[in-house]
């Protein structure tokens, strides 16, 4: 039986990430990059597809667990009749060989423990050749499969059993027992094991330094309380952990094929860099006060975009790779039987017009935030607008990446407006060169088109596609994008329609999968980012109490470690979809900052606060 998605914690080194269960089993890890083949795939299969368990010999789950302050270093506490043991799991950023480190600390009594390491390369399939060796005077266990090699270093006695490495040992009060699993290409020198205690010190220092620079969390804590401040810190740390440090790319999530409905086929690979998700992540990081990541991402974008804007992809590999061919791994049973497990993502070949808007908005905000100009950056933006001018009237797959026929999505057109608007603002505010009069006319044309064809005057709401009936929660973003003021009756009408038709138990679906033919069978959960967007819309409409109540409700849905997947099943009370997902954490940070700003404004001038509707 699969453990609930929200029962996992994530650890990572800004190159890849692992998911750790409450029983001390690492059920998901790809090495050495987020998008590499997995070595542990039990998450989307079973223990036979690879995992690394360290826990009490008699089994059982954590009594409690937490992240060490401002870091993705996970501490899992086991309490048994024999005593208490803590397991510290972490991955040092910048280590030569992706050193997944597990440090056991005896806190009370003497606890019998079990370790079971089952390495399966190539997404749970290939059993490696395992042998003992000595490196830098230390005994290690090498596991080799094709181009991959892992090196297990521990002082604990291990034995082979049924193609797994087993250890049974005891941890007494005050004792520390480390395990390190490092990665290296199999054709290179075996790396010398790092000192695990020193690695922990360095990892703690790295994250302490990073999270202490978070400007937004303090502001949110002051305005909305301790819980909201902590949620912002945790979300930003999670977003940082989803960045791929060597290139500046950002993944949408570290997993593939966690289902949007249990047992369903809406299972996708998120281990890539979407322009949409990455730019939204970047804006959240900048809102949090982090600009180094913004510079790294801007440079990543310039490299990935290459020389011709008509060749821009909507997503890339972590270093800007374009071929993300989608295939299925039939030997994996899927999370809770949800098949297929997909590797790669066919959405990479789609036309999604909104990405122009998201990219332009992020680059504009980076400029407004003081990021030093890069000459090719503006040249790329100007070329992108010239290309967008030619294609914005085309139907596309939309931000939800529908797999059926292309359509005239209202949100895509509104984002084309955003793209042109932000370029005009860059000319106006930063004196950059460009045919601004021409762009102003283009901006007006797109705006008029959206208001005429994307609005249903009979129902007084914006609709998902031109001339259609269906609703779409992305249209909650129109005022935040600057497309319309929130007070516009057409926006009020859109919020009312979404409340009527897309809400389930107070949370928001992105669209109705029974109404919209998105090319995929089955239903899905409510979409967490869209639910945060509704809270934002309430705030902008002056419905502050509702905004705050919805925001607090969404905070309740996080797991005990503060992590969110993409979706939620209100009936089952379970998280759904890839985990943890950047989109959801971005939306959390944005809502928190918005609510804090609104609360601040109200405090400064209480009489200016609009009446609660």
List of residues contacting ligand LLGJG24Q (CB under 6 A): 252, 268, 270, 274, 276-277, 345, 347, 399-401, 403, 583
CB 308 within 8 A of CB 380: no
Six-digit token string for 272 = 């890539």
22 or 276, CB closer to ligand LLGJG24Q? 276
CB 17 within 8 A of CB 241: yes
62 or 343, CB closer to ligand LLGJG24Q? 343
Side-chain-side CA neighbours of 213 within 13 Å: the count stands at 15
Nearest distance from residue 185's CB to ligand LLGJG24Q, in Å? 29
478 or 586, CB closer to ligand LLGJG24Q? 586
610 CB neighbour count, 10 Å cutoff = 13
Return all residues near 458 (Cβ < 8 A) that are at least 6 apart.
none
140 or 534, CB closer to ligand LLGJG24Q? 534
CA gap 410, 315 in Å, rounded: 21
CA-to-CA dists, residue 560 to 74, 539, 557, 566, angstroms: 12, 27, 9, 16
Q: Where are the alpha helices (DSSP H) in 483-527?
A: 489-501
Nearest distance from residue 295's CB to ligand LLGJG24Q, in Å? 23
First to last CA, the chain: 46
Nearest distance from residue 17's CB to ligand LLGJG24Q, in Å? 15
Nearest distance from residue 253's CB to ligand LLGJG24Q, in Å? 7
Nearest distance from residue 474's CB to ligand LLGJG24Q, in Å? 9
Nearest distance from residue 56's CB to ligand LLGJG24Q, in Å? 37
201 or 403, CB closer to ligand LLGJG24Q? 403
Q: Would you call 273 helix, strand, or coil by DSSP? A: strand
Nearest distance from residue 595's CB to ligand LLGJG24Q, in Å? 24
Nearest distance from residue 549's CB to ligand LLGJG24Q, in Å? 26
CA gap 532, 589 in Å, rounded: 9
CB 569 within 8 A of CB 586: no
Nearest distance from residue 341's CB to ligand LLGJG24Q, in Å? 14
78 or 411, CB closer to ligand LLGJG24Q? 411
Q: Which residue matches tokens 């932000």?
A: 422
515 CB neighbour count, 10 Å cutoff = 13
Cis before residue 580, ω within 30 degrees of 0?
yes
CA-to-CA dists, residue 327 to 29, 252, 342, 543, angstroms: 19, 19, 6, 46
37 or 401, CB closer to ligand LLGJG24Q? 401
H or E segment to which residue 296 belongs: helix 292-305
222 or 403, CB closer to ligand LLGJG24Q? 403
323 or 403, CB closer to ligand LLGJG24Q? 403
Q: What angle do CA 88, 89, 92 make, to 5 degrees?
A: 115
Cis before residue 309, ω within 30 degrees of 0?
no
175 or 470, CB closer to ligand LLGJG24Q? 470
153 or 345, CB closer to ligand LLGJG24Q? 345
72 or 525, CB closer to ligand LLGJG24Q? 525
Nearest distance from residue 263's CB to ligand LLGJG24Q, in Å? 17
Rounded to 10 degrees, the C-alpha dihedral 425/430/432/437 comes to 40
Q: Give me the numbers of helices (H) and strands (E) for the chain, helices first please.
A: 14, 28
Nearest distance from residue 74's CB to ligand LLGJG24Q, in Å? 24
Side-chain-side CA neighbours of 462 within 13 Å: the count stands at 31
Nearest distance from residue 350's CB to ligand LLGJG24Q, in Å? 8
- Helices 544-557 and 528-540: crossing angle in degrees, nearest 10, is 160
403 CB neighbour count, 10 Å cutoff = 13
219 or 271, CB closer to ligand LLGJG24Q? 271
Nearest distance from residue 401's CB to ligand LLGJG24Q, in Å? 4
Nearest distance from residue 108's CB to ligand LLGJG24Q, in Å? 43
CA gap 195, 613 in Å, rounded: 60
Side-chain-side CA neighbours of 434 within 13 Å: the count stands at 27
H or E segment to which residue 76 belongs: strand 74-80
CB 168 within 8 A of CB 114: yes
219 or 276, CB closer to ligand LLGJG24Q? 276
């Amino acid at each position: 039986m699969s453990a609930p998605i929200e029962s996992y914690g994530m650890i990572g080194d800004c190159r890849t990430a692992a998911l750790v269960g409450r029983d001390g089993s690492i059920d998901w890890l790809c090495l050495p990059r987020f998008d590499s083949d997995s070595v542990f795939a039990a998450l989307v299969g079973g223990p036979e597809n690879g995992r690394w368990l360290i826990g009490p010999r008699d089994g059982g789950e954590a009594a409690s667990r937490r992240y060490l302050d401002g870091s993705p270093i996970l501490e899992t506490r086991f309490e048994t009749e024999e005593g208490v043991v803590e397991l510290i799991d972490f991955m040092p950023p910048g280590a030569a060989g992706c050193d997944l480190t597990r440090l056991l600390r005896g806190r009370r009594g003497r606890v019998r423990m079990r370790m079971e390491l089952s390495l399966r390369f190539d997404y749970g399939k290939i059993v490696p050749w395992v042998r003992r060796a000595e490196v830098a005077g230390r005994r290690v266990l090498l596991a080799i499969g094709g181009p991959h090699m892992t090196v297990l270093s521990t002082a604990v006695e291990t034995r082979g059993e049924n193609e797994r490495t087993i250890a049974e040992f005891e941890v007494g009060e005050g004792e520390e027992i480390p395990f390190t699993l490092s990665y290296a290409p199999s054709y290179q020198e075996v790396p010398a094991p790092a000192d695990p205690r020193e690695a922990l010190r360095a990892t703690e220092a790295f994250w302490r330094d990073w999270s202490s620079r978070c400007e937004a969390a303090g502001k949110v804590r002051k305005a909305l309380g301790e819980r909201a401040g902590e949620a912002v810190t945790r979300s930003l740390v999670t977003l940082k952990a989803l960045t791929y440090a060597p290139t500046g790319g950002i993944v949408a999530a570290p997993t593939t094929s966690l289902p949007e409905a249990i047992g369903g086929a809406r299972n996708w690979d998120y281990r890539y860099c979407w322009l949409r998700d990455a730019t939204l992540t970047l804006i959240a990081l900048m809102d949090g006060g982090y600009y180094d990541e913004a510079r790294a991402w801007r440079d990543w974008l310039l490299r990935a975009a290459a020389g011709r804007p008509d060749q821009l992809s909507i997503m890339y590999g972590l270093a800007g790779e374009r071929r993300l061919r989608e295939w299925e791994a039939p030997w994996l049973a899927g999370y809770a039987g949800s098949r297929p497990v997909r590797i790669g993502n066919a959405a990479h070949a789609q036309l999604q017009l909104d990405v122009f808007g998201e990219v332009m908005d992020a680059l504009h905000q980076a400029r407004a935030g003081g990021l030093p100009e890069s000459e090719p950056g503006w040249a790329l933006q100007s070329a992108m607008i010239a290309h967008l001018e030619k294609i914005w009237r085309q139907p596309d797959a939309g931000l939800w990446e529908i797999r059926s026929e292309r359509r005239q999505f209202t949100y895509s057109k509104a984002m084309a407006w955003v793209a042109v608007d932000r370029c005009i603002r860059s000319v106006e505010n930063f004196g950059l060169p460009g045919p601004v009069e021409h762009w102003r006319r283009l901006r007006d044309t797109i705006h008029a088109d959206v208001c005429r064809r994307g609005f249903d005057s009979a129902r007084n709401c914006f609709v998902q596609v031109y001339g259609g009936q269906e609703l779409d929660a992305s249209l909650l973003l129109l005022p935040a994008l600057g497309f319309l003021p929130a007070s516009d009756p057409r926006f009020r009408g859109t919020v009312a329609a979404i409340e009527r038709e897309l809400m389930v138990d107070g949370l928001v679906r992105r669209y109705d999968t029974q109404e919209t033919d998105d090319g995929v069978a089955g239903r899905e959960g409510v979409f967490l980012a869209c639910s945060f967007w509704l809270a934002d819309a309430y705030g902008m409409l002056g419905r502050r109490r509702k905004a705050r109540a919805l925001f607090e409700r969404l905070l309740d849905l996080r797991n005990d470690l503060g992590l969110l997947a993409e979706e939620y099943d209100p009936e089952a009370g379970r998280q759904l979809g890839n985990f943890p997902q950047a989109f959801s954490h971005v939306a959390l940070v944005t809502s928190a900052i918005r609510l804090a700003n609104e609360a601040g404004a109200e405090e400064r001038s209480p009489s200016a606060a609009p009446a609660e509707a």
